[in-house]
Amino acid sequence: MVAALPSLVGSGTVLVLLATGSVARDVLVGVGIAIVLFVLYYVLVLRPARRPPPRRESNEAPPRNDTGN
């Protein structure tokens, strides 16, 4: 199976190295990917959701509650 990988994907050197690597390295790569994804989720989703709404100036009127009537 591993010998067939290079013919399927160009040179396939990366796939062959990943397929023949150690379990510990695979686990570290998986954990690294999970950490990167969590950091992106935190920065792009969780942190903006925690920000308080922008403060209004004292001379601004409150937002209208336009019901369409």
Cα 2 to Cα 8: distance, rounded to the nearest angstrom:
10
Q: What is the pLDDT of residues 20-54, one digit of tens each?
A: 678 899 999 999 999 999 999 999 999 888 877 77
Contact 35, 21 (CB under 8 A): no
H or E element in which residue 54 lies: none
pLDDT of residue 13: 60
pLDDT of residue 54: 72
Domain boundaries, the chain: 22-51
pLDDT of residue 59: 72
Higher pLDDT, 54 or 13: 54
